[in-house]
Structure 1
Amino acid sequence: MTASSPYAERLRRLPVERHEVEVRDGVTAYWEYGAADAETTVIAVHGFRGDHHGLEPVLAFLPEARIIAPDLPGFGESAPVPGRTYDLDEYASWLVEFAAAVAPGAVILGHSFGSIVVSAAIASGLETPRLILINPIGAPALEGPKGLMTRLAVFYYAMGARLPETLGTALLRNRAIVRIMSVTMAKTQDPELRRFIHDQHDTYFSRFADRDVLRDAFVASVSHDVREFAPKIHVPTLLIAADRDDITPIEAERVLATLFDDAELVEIAHVGHLIHYETPAEAAGAIRRFLRIPVARGR
């Protein structure tokens, strides 16, 4: 990393420990933030191509909670199981077993692709008292305001899978293309924050294990959305959505909120698909109110 984080000081004050656990014949790396004896425990699942670092700005504003942030299998420091197809069913099954192993009964949070994974897991039986979705994928990605960009992404990942392995992997890790993705998603005009966002993507967006797992995850991300699972989710749910999201328009998020038994929608203005980087304090405030977590003195 070369750009300083606007949230670094808050993160330095958080206790953090790295752990590993065996889940579905593979080893999942995860990080535990906050006090082990906190009253509220949250399992936080990151989005496509990222790893646990992406949600750290939000966690920095929730020091009163215990947050468990894993790397999805095939990303970051969690290796995939060789020969396994990482479709949505596999990721949902992984989350059910991961939660049972490390924090049964925890609140579940998912960002972007993570919103699909956690919703599928809960609809299939994962027990949780509450669900939190940040930038939920509330409509088919190909139909969003940037549907053309998504179609180009489909072509990009298809080419990455079809080219000879060395060339395909190099294409998928190409820094110029990663930067185009980052510039497209960032809405802030703050130059320091933009540098941080681009540096985060440069540093963590290519930490996938191989092109096969990346292709599987991409196909899962554009083939499903949270609408499929919302009617089967019967726990209180918080949706934190952005009014400039290029993937799911805010109108679709408003419709999505009506599909749950019990859902609250918080809309954040002047931000897009990077709530976790651009407005983490606002997201954390909504989460704190939803979970009724008191603010600790001195924070």
Structure 2
Amino acid sequence: MPASSPYNALLARVPVARRAHDGAQARTAYWEYGDAAAPVTILAVHGFRGDHHGLEPVVAHLPEVRWIMPDLPGFGETPALASGAHDLATYAAWLREFAAAVAPGAVVLGHSFGSIVAAGAVADGLDTPRLILVNPIGAPALEGPRGVLTRLAVAYYAASAWLPRRLGSWLLRSRAIVRVMSIVMAYTRDRTLRRFIHDQHDRYFSLFSDRDTLRQAFVTSVANDVRASAPRIAQPTLLIAAVQDDITPIAAERRLATLFPDARLVEIDGVGHLIHYEKPAEAADAIREFLGA
């Protein structure tokens, strides 16, 4: 039985419609939340192994904005790209094409792995007035406080690729391993919220298209970070970082903010890498103030 979401009542008040866009390399599934006539549209890019559901708690706390939320190619309801390549350049090109067709002029937001894709796309010319990065990947994952766990993840994905396809795919979708990932990432001690987070990961973390695409996306996530794109982003940028994030430490996020020509950093205490689940109200407040400015 699915765990109850603490954000259901708020989210229920936001209209939502599923749509699709036929792009050059994939039919991208996306969801439109809020009033189509809203003065501001945010194009939001989710994190690794998730899909658009992960950012819904932030949507619930920012209903005055129109949200466009696609599933990344190879995740959720969007198939892998026709080229078969899922590196940063290809993801960024996909996002530029999707934004131009579906959400021209939208503010761009990226969470975690989505921060790498969003920053890369904007640095390469995606037309947006502002950029928002939540839990941005501001340093190499292998150098973070949990670099050992990252190395274990590298071995896990390598083993999944080496094993026979059926066995490797089973390993990637193992509920036990997904639960371990969820336990490691969750910071909150609130039992109801933890149940919700684990349920979200149980339901959506294994909806990737195939193991080859997943491995490529994982390699992209650990081989890149936002630092390379930051100096080439002229737009005002908001970084929403977690003080207890052990994927990118807060000290690295503070250094990252200095690499942008125009960036402000909002630090949220009492949360790790799951701001979108554990502190969505605080994230929404920071976004609202940034947009108002």
In the other structure, the counterpart of 1:29 is 29
In the other structure, the counterpart of 1:111 is 111
Deviation at 1:24, TM superposition (A): 2.2
Superposed, which structure 2 residues align to 1:8-23 within 5 Å?
8-23=8-23
2: distance between equivalents of 1:282 and 1:223? Answer: 30
2: distance between equivalents of 1:82 and 1:97? Answer: 15
Deviation at 1:162, TM superposition (A): 0.9
- Once superposed, what is the RMSD of the aligned Cα atoms? 0.9
Q: 3-state SS of the aligned residue for 1:195?
A: helix
Deviation at 1:81, TM superposition (A): 3.1
In the other structure, the counterpart of 1:271 is 271
Deviation at 1:2, TM superposition (A): 1.2
Deviation at 1:75, TM superposition (A): 0.3
In the other structure, the counterpart of 2:62 is 62
Identical counterparts, % of pairs = 68
In the other structure, the counterpart of 1:285 is 285
Q: 3-state SS of the aligned residue for 1:57?
A: helix
1: distance between equivalents of 2:81 and 2:66? Answer: 28
Q: Which moved more, 1:47-56 or 1:81-90?
A: 81-90
Give the aligned length: 293
In the other structure, the counterpart of 2:78 is 78
1: distance between equivalents of 2:286 and 2:19? Answer: 28
2: distance between equivalents of 1:99 and 1:206? Answer: 26
Deviation at 1:83, TM superposition (A): 4.9
Q: 3-state SS of the aligned residue for 1:188?
A: coil
Specify every segment of 5 or more residues in structure 1 that has no aligned partner in the other structure, as ranges: 294-299
In the other structure, the counterpart of 2:42 is 42
In the other structure, the counterpart of 2:243 is 243
2: distance between equivalents of 1:258 and 1:189? Answer: 33
Specify every segment of 5 or more residues in structure 2 that has no aligned partner in the other structure, as ranges: none
2:143 partner amino acid:
E
Q: 3-state SS of the aligned residue for 2:170?
A: helix
Residues 74-130 of structure 1, C-alpha deviations (whole Å, 9 max, x = no match): 000001134511111110000000000101110000000000000000111101000
1: distance between equivalents of 2:25 and 2:149? Answer: 36
4+ aligned runs moved over 3 Å, structure 1: none
2:104 partner amino acid:
P
2:140 partner amino acid:
P
Deviation at 1:263, TM superposition (A): 0.4
Superposed, which structure 2 residues align to 1:190-269 within 5 Å?
190-269=190-269
Q: 3-state SS of the aligned residue for 1:31?
A: strand
1:251 partner amino acid:
A
2:25 and 2:83 in contact (8 A); partners too:
no
2: distance between equivalents of 1:83 and 1:162? Answer: 22
2: distance between equivalents of 1:136 and 1:151? Answer: 20
